[in-house]
Each structure stands twice: as C-alpha cells, then as structure tokens.
Structure 1
Amino acid sequence: METDCTRLPAGTRLLHIGPHKTGTTSIQGALFAAKDQLPAYGVEFPAHTRHPMEAALAACARPAMMGDTVPTDRHWTKLLEQVGATGKRTSVVSSEFFADAEDDATIARMVEQLGGDRVHILVTLRPLAKIMPSQWQQYVQNGLRLGYEDWLKHMLKKAPYEKPTPSFWRRHRHDRLVERWARVVGPERITVVVVDDRDRDGLMRTFESLLGLPDNLLQPVPDAANRSLTLAETEMLRNLNKEFRGNGLPDELYSKLIRNGAVMHMKNACSPTPQDVKISTPRWAVEAAAGTAAEMIDRIAQMGVRVLGDPALLSAVPKPSGQASEQVSEEPRIAPEVAAQALYGALAAAAAAPVRHTTPAKARTVHQTSSVELVKVLGHRCLKKLRRH
C-alpha cells in the first residue's frame, strides 16, 4: 500500500475504467463541471458529455442498455478525435464501461488508439459487500426479474457464477480486471485507488493530486438521477419487469417508458426518507463477499501495481445494523406519491414522442394485456382526441 499520490507526468492520458459503483458518476460529474477550469492547469477533459458511455460500449463491443440505441464505431471515433485534439496536454477519460473489455486484443487496441505509452490506467475499488446491492438494483433497472437473495445465490453459490448477469464478475472480480489491463500496459502504468466511504471527498482529492490540480477544484455535483432505488422501488420495478417480459413487449418500449420515463422521473421527483427500507444484504453473502475480496487483495498486491489507500477496507466485514439481518422484518411498501410519480413519468415519456419499435408486439386481447400497456394505449388515445379538439 502507498499513501504518496504522486502527480502523473505531464501529457499523460489518464483512463479511468471504473468499475461500476465505485464513485465513477461522482468523479465524472465533478470533472465535467470543472471542464473549463482544467486547461489553466494543463489538463483537459475531452469528452463533450459527462460520461462517454456510448463510446466505451462501442470500443469494448458491448451491447447498449436494454432498448437503447446501439452504439457505433462513430461514437468511439469521435471520442478519439476529442482526445487527439488535446495534443501534448494531460487529459482524462472516465467510463466504468471500459471495465467490460473482455480480452487483451480489445484492451491493446483501445490503449494504442488513445495514445499508447502515454496511457495510464486508473481503477477505483470499493468493498464487494457494498457494491452488490447497488449493482443488483441497477440490473433491475435494465430488466432483471430475479430477487436480491436469489441473485446473490447465483453470484456467490452457483458455479460458474455467470447467470443471469455475466457482466458482474467480469467487472467485479477486481484482481482479474487489474490483471487484464496490466498484461497490456504493464503494472507500472496502473494505479488502484481504494475508495474510503468514510471520506466522502477523498476520491476528488486523489484525482486532484494525480492530475496536479489545486485542492478543492473538483466538487461533487448533486445528481438525483443517479441515486440508488429503495427496496420498495426496486421491487415495484422488478415486478413490472415480470409483466413486461411476460407480455412480450419490445425492448424499445422499456427504454423509453420505463427506464427513461417512470424510473427517471421517480428518482428526480422523490427522495428516500429514513422510513424507507434499504436493500439489505444477508450476513452469509456479506461474509462470502469479504472472503472473495481478501483473495483479490492478495493477488493485486503481488502484481506490482501502485495501490493508493487501505486495501484492508475491501475485505472488512461490517458490523450488523438494524436492517442487516437474514430477513427484513418490515414489508417494503411503495408510497402512493412515489407510485404516482413513476406512472406520470411513463405517461409523460409516451406523450413526448411516439415509440418506434423494431420488433412488433404480439396481438393480444384486453384481458391478456398488462395494465401498464393499457394505461399507455389509453393515454395515446386521449392525446389524439385532445389534439383533434
């Protein structure tokens, strides 16, 4: 473990590869907000958006989120042009989806295109036990129908631990992630940062030190759309996913009305209260995750990469809290206001623009059609009548 956060050489192209749920959204928002101030210190944030997700997905040849537009090589090429325009100045690119690169050839191609020897890889890590509930609810936002404890059993107890979400261990078997990138760039060009959740701004200060920025230049940017869902919100969405899949509706409809309509509006309009039941990881899963984390720490320590922070945090088993029991005693209930905001978000998304889906839905009777779709159809008909009047 090192505590010396030495500034990277001028002209470095810093590639932050996440993985997911390790403070990526927070640092991306802070860098983008300071975009116009960075050049005064010889640093550029070349992406034109907070998170160049489509470019990273295209570069790694990974699919888009359920129902979203498929990324193309043009997304990646555009980002490369933006990076190239920074010339000899230091630049930083951040996307957790770079962690989805599966093989050495893909990684080697991306590194070469981004600048070859100038590229330095930054990996941010948090304890698996804290990542798992956040990652599960994120999978539910992309259509997953499996309950939390069943999903944990698949990830921790059922070899080969790849179903139903094969991306989880590709991202979060952190020793293998670091090893994949070290084989290409060498361990001397990789920095691993252990995120300490007790120090809310610690990751900001680490980026400032690595990039040679003044203290406190990077500041958190409030982002309600990135908040995690409560247990009740996630369960509501998971049950909706069952209805959605059971009725064979097109993926484009899910992207438009559910993820970017109902869920997005609900996140922005409703803030969780202390009374909301959080997603609680059972003790057996916390201990299993801590054991896996300990194995990963040992392997990373042997690779020769620079590690900033305390690796022991990654395998620490937290003390049980009031909700960290084997069974949650309180039944999660969705508040009427939250349900109303979610429904409004779906209706507003439907009214904003028609959904053009590539896969036609099967013909069904009214009795075979889910209530969600019936509300959508009714909404469209009402809008048509209003427009005629």
Structure 2
Amino acid sequence: MARRVFLHCGTAKSGTTYLQDLWWHHRGALRERGLLLPGTALRDHFHAAALVKGMDVILDELGPGERRVWQRLVDETRAWSGDALISHEHFSDSSAGAAAAALADLTSAADEVHLVVTVRDLGRVLPSAWQQRVKQGARQPYGKFLATVRRGRDDQKFWRYQDVPGILARWAVGLPPERVHLVVVPPAGAPRDELWLRTAAVLGVDVDGLDTEPRLPNDSLGIVEAELLRRVNAVVPRQRRSVALTRLTKGAFARDLLAGSAPRESFVLPAKHAGWVRERSEQMVATLREGAYDVVGDLDDLLPAGPRSGRTPDQTTDAELLAAATTVVARMIERYR
C-alpha cells in the first residue's frame, strides 16, 4: 500500500509537457528518493487517462493488454510503500462519474489520495490552446476561436480543460482541501525551473542535483507558421483526418519542417478580448480563494497582464505565408530526397 498517490490532472498548456519530460527523465532518481512513476513510459499515463475519461478515438487503437493499463498503474501503486505520481492533462476532461471511479481505485491503493492541478493565466493559455488545436487539424481562425471561447458554455471543450473550479468540482469530491494542491505557473520572466520546484514541494520529493534542462524540443510556432498550418488544414479533406495524421503534424512536420520557417513573432491577446478574459480570470480566482485549497504560488498571477502590442495570426500577409511555405517545401525536398 502506497503512503500517498498524487494524481496530476493538468490543466492543459500549464507546463505539463515540461514537468512530465523531467519526471520521466529522472524516473530512476525519483524512485530512489521515494517517488514512483508507475508504468514504463508517459504513454502509459496517456492511455490510462484515455481509459478513465472514455476517449474512444484512442481506445479504438489499444490492444487487450493496453486496455488494462489503468489497473496496472493502480496495482503498481498499491505494491509500492512510498509515494506515487500519475500525470496527464487528459484526466481533467473526465466526467464526474469517471473521476469518482478513478479516485475510488486510487483510494484502494494508497493511504492518502492527493490531487495536483497546475494552473496558468488565461491570457497566456488562449494563444497556446489555439496553436495546439491547429496542430491537431483545426481550421478555425484565431479571432473566431477567441470569440467562440468567449461565448462558449461551460461544457465547451476549451473550458472542460481550463475551467479550474469545474475540474475541481469533478475531481476534488471527498478529498480534504489540504490534499488538493493548486500549483500556479509563475509569471513570464520567472526562473525556468520555478514550476519544477513548486511541484516538487507539493510532492515532498528532494530534487536537489537533478538538472532541469528539458529534453523534449520546444516546437511552438510563431504567428506566421501557425496561420500557414491552419490554412493547410483548411484544404485537407475532413475524411482524411486521422490520429496518425495528427501525430505526424504535431510531431515531425511542426518540429522539423515548419518551426523556424518565419521570423519569430509571439502571439498576443487582442485588446478587444482583454476585458472578458480579465473578468473570467477574476471570477476563477475568487472561487479558488474560497476553496481553502493548498495553493503554491500566488493566485494573483492568474490575472492576465494588460494587452501587449503586436499582431495576431489573422493579420499575417500572403507574402509572409508564401515565404514560410517556400522554406518548408525546400526543407521537405532536402529531408526526403
């Protein structure tokens, strides 16, 4: 029986890739220091999240053995005497019933169940979320995406992954508030390893001497590159979209061919959207303050900064897109010749 099991359920675009990269890279050292990551690789936690939430597009690809991965993680946790960590942002999108069943499984495997939610301010999440969707085949322009999120209901996909009070309403049921840990992503300009250190403090694990240089490449795109990919998505027939194509687009294409094909220009949140984003953020912070949860960091850092000057993907020119496309084609020729 484990002493404690921590379920890290996101949120999406809150440094989860960075944390998971480091956790799995240092898996052996963390185990020696008392923290187990059950399973053999991050994909086990991804498949476990897909099983818990009922993610059919992934479940249809799993073999009989892979369909038992959640139970294997629970069994490994039960056989461990220290602390254990299971992490994937797809857990956040589980229904209340699925969350309750998962928590019951974890309760059978550890003396204490803890929930960890990393949270980032909406002003930075929104551009990242749009870019991620474009990598997954989305065709919606940036401006329309923001307008859709603004008027969206709480069951909209974006909010299912980002409405922290809603996530806690499903996942924190029955847990003492001191076992619900909200880790605030530090503001821009903070030391790179601050989020790593904050989560380590929650997990109670010594990370002294473990390097914090990420192994996974940062394949984020600038506004020209992201808009170019969106326009490519618009001409790919919907019936041709598949999990395999999405993996190719998010992986080798975005990382090796598209990234760096245009001068780097960061995303900005348009000024006309700043008001409602700020209002929604203030409502979320007020609700979280009332919850008496264990907060690591400052909830005020979830209030977005004021509008920054700059362009949006909708404002890129055809000439810029053509120049980037030319670079991508040249790279493809060189890569596959």
Cα 1:90/1:275, change in 2 over 3 Å: same
Measured after TM superposition, the shift of residue 113 of structure 1 is: 1.0
Change in CA separation of 1:129 and 1:324 when aligned onto 2, cut-off 3 Å: farther
* Distance apart, 1:82 and its partner CA: 3.1
Deviations 1:98-144 (A, max 9, x none): 111121x2112111212355210011111011001111111122221
- Measure how far apart 1:176 and its partner are: 1.7
The separation in 1 between residues aligned to 2:55 and 2:333, in whole angstroms, is: 31
Partner of 2:103: 111
Match of 1:44 in 2: 36
> Aligned partners of 1:169 and 1:145: how far apart in 2?
19
Secondary structure, aligned partner of 2:237 = helix
Pick from 200, 207, 216 the counterpart of residue 199 of structure 2. Answer: 207
Q: TM-score, normalization: structure 1?
A: 0.74
Structure 2 CA distance, aligned partners of 1:229 and 1:168? Answer: 20
Cα pair 2:142 2:314 within 8 Å, conserved: no
SS of residue in 2 equivalent to 1:11: strand
Match of 1:128 among 122, 126, 149: 122
Which residue of 2 is the match for residue 78 of structure 1? 72
Q: What is the match of residue 56 of structure 1? A: 49
* Shift in CA distance, 39/102, structure 1 to aligned 2, threshold 3 Å: same
CA distance in structure 2 between the partners assigned to 1:107 and 1:97 by the alignment: 12
Contact 2:183 2:297 in 1 (8 A): yes
Q: Is the 8 A contact 1:283 1:326 kept in 2?
A: no
- Alpha-carbon RMSD across the aligned residues, in angstroms, is 2.9
1:230–1:279 Cα contact (<8 Å) kept: yes
Q: Look up the SS of the partner of 1:185 in the other structure.
A: coil
- When residues 160 and 42 of structure 1 are mapped into structure 2, their CA distance, relative to the original with a 3 A threshold, is closer
Match of 2:302 in 1: 314
Q: Could you tell me how far 1:192 is from its partner in structure 2?
A: 0.4
Which AA in structure 2 matches 1:312? D
Residues 325 and 25 (structure 1), Cα distance of their counterparts in 2 relative to 1, 3 Å cut:
closer
Which structure 2 residues correspond to residues 370-389 of structure 1 after superposition, within 5 A?
A: none
Give a deviation string over 1:268-298, Cα, whole Å, max 9, x none: 3254378233333211223321210110000
TM-score, normalised by the number of residues in structure 2: 0.85
CA distance in 1 between counterparts of 2:48 and 2:28 reads 22
Identify the residue that residue 92 of structure 1 maps to in structure 2. Answer: 85
1:27-52 deviation digits (Å, cap 9, x = unpaired): 11101111111122112111311352
1: CA distance, partners of 2:81 / 2:231:
52
The 3 A distance-change label for structure 1 pair 326 and 269 is: closer
Task: Evaluate the alpha carbon distance shift between residue 161 and residue 283 of structure 1 in structure 2; reply closer, same or farther with a 3 A threshold.
Answer: farther
Q: How does 1:342-361 map to 2 (within 5 A)?
A: none
- Give the match's secondary structure for 1:200: coil
Structure 1: 4+ residue segments shifted above 6 A: none
CA separation of 1:60/1:330 partners in 2, compared to 1, >3 Å: closer, same or farther?
same
Gaps of at least 5 residues in structure 1 are: 1-9, 349-389
Counterparts of 2:317 and 2:200, CA distance in 1? 43
Q: Which residue of 2 aligns with 1:282?
A: 270
- Superposition map of 1:267-306 within 5 A: 267-270=254-257, 271-272=259-260, 275-306=263-294
The 1-side partners of 2:313 and 2:225 are apart by 20
Q: Tell me what 1:355 maps to.
A: none
Contact 1:262–1:341 (8 Å) recurs in 2: no
Task: Flag the structure with larger Rg.
Answer: 1
The size of the alignment, in residue pairs, is 324
Tell me what 1:35 maps to.
27
Distance 1:36 1:161, change over 3 A: closer
Question: Measured at CA, do residues 63 and 138 of structure 1 come closer, stay the same or move farther in structure 2, by a change above 3 Å?
Answer: farther
